[in-house]
Structure formats: C-alpha cells, structure tokens
Amino acid sequence: MSNERTIFKALSWASSFLKANGRDANAGEILLRSQLNMSRSKLLAEQRIPLDDHEWGRFEEAVKEHAAGRPVQHIVGYEEFYGRKFLVNEDVLIPRPETEELIEAVLQKLDATFTSSLSDLKTADIGTGSGAIAVTLKLERPVLSVFASDLSEKALQVAQRNAKSLNAEIQFLQGDLLQPFKHKDIKLDVVVSNPPYIPVHEKLSDVVFKYEPHSALFGGDDGLAFYRRLVSELPEVLKEHGLVAFEIGDGQGKAVAELLTEDFPEADIEVIKDINGKDRIVTMVL
C-alpha cells in the first residue's frame, strides 16, 4: 500500500479528474463518503488516513463511472432529500433541491388553509416517483392521510421501499394521474404534483438524458401537457375546500396559473419563485 494513497490524495485526484471530464469536482467527496460510510466532517478531518488497495480501486472505479456519465446518486444508490436518504435508481427521477421548496410551500399552505386541524386530510402526491414528496409530507405532518400514485409499477416499487425504510404510512395506487382516485371515488383535500414539465425539444445534460426516465422528464412540446390533464381531472376528485400545489419549470408560472383559473375562477392562485428567482411552484386554495 502506498503511503500517498490517503483520503486527501484520493479527493485531490478525483477533483482534478472529474473537472477534466466536465463533471462536478465535488462528486468525489460524495462517492468517498458513501464508500467509507463517513460524515462530511469526519472525512475532511481524517484526510491523512490511508486507503488500502481495495478501497482505492473501488473509489477510482466509481469516479471513472461518474466521469463517463452515470449519476452519482445511481452509483451510491440514494439521494438526500429534506434531511433523509431516499433510494433511487434508473426507474425514478432523482429528487432535486428545488422540490424541497415545493415541500416548504405545501407545509405553509396546509397550516394556513386548514386552520382547525390537519387530521386525516386526504393528501395525494401524483406521479410520486421515488416517493420523496409523499413520504416527506407524511413524516413532516404525520396526521395527514397520504396517498401516492404513479403510472409506473417499477417507480411505485421504489417509492414503497422508501416509505418502508423511513417508516412512513402511505397508501399507494397505480394509474394515470388522478384516474385511480376517480375510479375508487376518493375525494382529496390536497393534491401535490411534480409532473414532467420539460419541453421535448429542450437539450439536457447526458447525465440526465441517458440515465433518468424520460416519462418523468418531458411534458410535451411546451412542457405543459401534464398540467392540462391534471387540471382537467381536478374537479372530479378535489373537495370544495382544497389545496393544490404543482412544481413547475422556469417561465411556466403564468400559463399554469391561467389553466387553473379557467376551471377554478374563484380560487386563490399564487405563483411562487424559488431561491434563484425562477418560477417554481403554483398553488391554488379553494
């Protein structure tokens, strides 16, 4: 074992290698933390610790795999979302930090809209994917009655594993958008969704395009196809006093708000910008 094969040397090599290959130079830290099962503070505090040949080889392989395009989250098998680890694979969209802002908006609107009690409010995450939204809402507001639906059976399997590992009681339904609720005559108090909203012609990075499910990314020519369908189905499942919250793409706020206004002219509709000042969330309170 070479004395130079320390954590410090591994991180330095990974940073340079990834940068040279057009990847995030900090990805090496995530990969090594996962491999050694160390917190960030512990990893940075113990940079002089040597790695044996097996550890170095595994790390080198993982870094090269990411440099070739595979997402870090698929290599380590999880993504952190709202302070919790969610299992991810090629069957689900990797949860993004922006979606944490959707969670924040929903929690604030819940507390402001249903002032008497949140107990047993029927709340649904439509197109749940990894289950990040549904599980997080249940864990942050345990009195909610939370449903999660997805068209993809494989996505639901991932979401169910996440719900089980994080001890979140979720009712899962397979089907297209709000159809499973319509068929079971389930009326909802709260509808939350982060549907596919990227226009089909928009160019994505190879890490996203090659490894994440296109069914969870693209929303038709203008990115609004799923919002049109969701809004058209809402009157059949949403209660008279309800809350709707959608994550949206930059520049889509006005269009999505107008879609909601057409069917719900008396509703209180708001477009919320994210931390970067971009359209990110549309909420509707009935």
Residue 206 predicted with pLDDT over 80: no
**pLDDT (0 to 100) of residue 2:** 46
Determine phi and psi for 40, rounding to 5 degrees: -60, -45
127 contacts 93 by C-beta, under 8 angstroms: no
**pLDDT (0 to 100) of residue 220:** 67
pLDDT tens digit string along 235-264?
999 999 999 999 999 899 999 999 999 999
Ligand-binding annotation for 50, yes or no, is no
Ligand-binding annotation for 194, yes or no, is yes
pLDDT tens digit string along 113-140?
997 788 889 999 999 999 999 999 999 9
**pLDDT (0 to 100) of residue 196:** 79
Strands 78-81, 84-87: pairing kind:
antiparallel
Better-predicted residue by pLDDT, 193 or 201: 193
Residue 40 predicted with pLDDT over 60: yes
Strands 78-81, 145-150: pairing kind:
unpaired
Residue 187 predicted with pLDDT over 60: yes
Strands 188-193, 279-285: pairing kind:
unpaired
259 contacts 228 by C-beta, under 8 angstroms: yes
Here the tokens at position 66 are 């990411």
| Count of positions (residues) in the chain | 286
The neighbouring-strand residues paired with 193 are 126, 246
**pLDDT (0 to 100) of residue 212:** 65
Distance CA 149, CA 90 (A): 18
Helix, strand counts (H, E) of the chain: 12, 9
> Measuring CA to CA, which residue among 41, 43, 31 is closest to residue 77?
31
Here the tokens at position 286 are 């009935």
**pLDDT (0 to 100) of residue 4:** 76
111 contacts 241 by C-beta, under 8 angstroms: no
184, with CB counted inside 10 A (0-12, 13-18, 19+), is exposed
52, with CB counted inside 10 A (0-12, 13-18, 19+), is exposed
185 contacts 179 by C-beta, under 8 angstroms: no
Ligand-binding annotation for 196, yes or no, is yes
Ligand-binding annotation for 127, yes or no, is yes
pLDDT tens digit string along 148-168?
999 999 999 999 999 999 999
The neighbouring-strand residues paired with 191 are 124, 244
Ligand-binding annotation for 37, yes or no, is no
Q: Tokens 């008497």: give the residue.
A: 116
Distance CA 87, CA 101 (A): 20
Ligand-binding annotation for 150, yes or no, is yes
Determine phi and psi for 6, rounding to 5 degrees: -95, 170
* Domain 93-285 bears CATH identifier 3.40.50.300: no
What average pLDDT score do residues 38-44 get? 90
pLDDT tens digit string along 262-285?
999 999 999 999 999 999 999 999
Distance CA 15, CA 212 (A): 24
